[in-house]
Amino acid sequence: MRTTLSKITIATLGAFLFLSSPVSSEGLRTLSTADENRGWEAVGRLNFGAAGFCTAAMLTSDIVLTAAHCLYDKGTDLAVPADEIEFQAGLRFGRAEAARGIRRIVIHPDYDFADPDRLGRVGSDVALLELDRPIRDGHVRPFRTQFRVGSGQEVQVVSYAKSRADAPSREEACEILTRDEEILVLSCEADFGSSGAPVFANFDGEIRIVSVISAKAVWEGRPVALAAVMEGELSALLAEFAQTPAFTPVEQGIAPGETIDTRATQ
């Protein structure tokens, strides 16, 4: 299926070393202190050795969500080995709440990094990473999910990026400008390194993840960020997990085909 959105010029966001020029950061606020970062500790930086970083967020104590394209080497088009990746939860100025290696990578089954249609890849640009050990720190609380969102809805993003790599930054008020069956077009700012950053929305006073940043683009003459419509997509990812013998749904508290937290709806 291809997106029905038109007039989009896209630039896929890779790890920070692939940056050419930064975008404006007027709407971003650096979460410099522990107080400012409270509640956002489960957002972290996903490091790829000398190749750069992306952003990711915890869905459970040992599963994080990010963008699928982060997990490929742009120079070789090959997948990055799991043992070359590290997740640093709540990283601020050299200190993380916890750091973990990656045990397993699961890419959305419809995602094809080699597909030259970059816009067509956005709708499946999501991946799950299983940490080598759970993060059970009491104040690092994984996020729940809620994927039914619509045009005009206010969202916010917490991310790292090339020009702000040392601490997370929060854009508190941007919105979903439009959407189709596959792509959300957001007024949020995006830059290289913010790939995989969680997009949040408020549901009855609780902040939940609704998608992750995939790319920056131009739509109708204005800079925008693109993210996948996640309705049903996490279920596809969990189905991939369920097909891997090392993954035991009962142990993780997840049933195949369901969201990470059964109280959250798609």
Mean pLDDT by 10 residues, the chain (266 residues): 58 40 60 95 92 92 96 88 95 96 93 90 94 92 91 96 91 94 93 92 94 92 93 82 53 35 34
Helix, strand, coil fractions of the chain, as percent rounded to 5:
15, 40, 45
pLDDT of residue 58: 97
Tell me which H or E stretch contains 1: none
CA dihedral 80, 168, 195, 265 (to 10 degrees): 110
pLDDT of residue 64: 96
Within-domain flag for 244: yes
Within-domain flag for 181: no
pTM for this predicted structure? 0.84
Within-domain flag for 51: yes
For residues 95 and 118, what is the distance between their CA atoms, to the nearest angstrom? 35
- At 250 the three-state DSSP class reads helix
Name residue, tokens 């439009």: 178
For residues 170 and 251, what is the distance between their CA atoms, to the nearest angstrom? 33
pLDDT of residue 74: 82
Count how many domains the chain has: 1
Within-domain flag for 170: no
Within-domain flag for 46: yes
pLDDT of residue 5: 66
Within-domain flag for 64: yes
CATH number at residue 246: 2.40.10.10
For residues 218 and 164, what is the distance between their CA atoms, to the nearest angstrom? 22
Within-domain flag for 237: yes
For residues 157 and 20, what is the distance between their CA atoms, to the nearest angstrom? 22
Spatial CA neighbour of 182 closest among 256, 114, 108: 108
pLDDT of residue 233: 82
Within-domain flag for 171: no
> In terms of residue numbers, what domain contains 53?
39-143+231-252
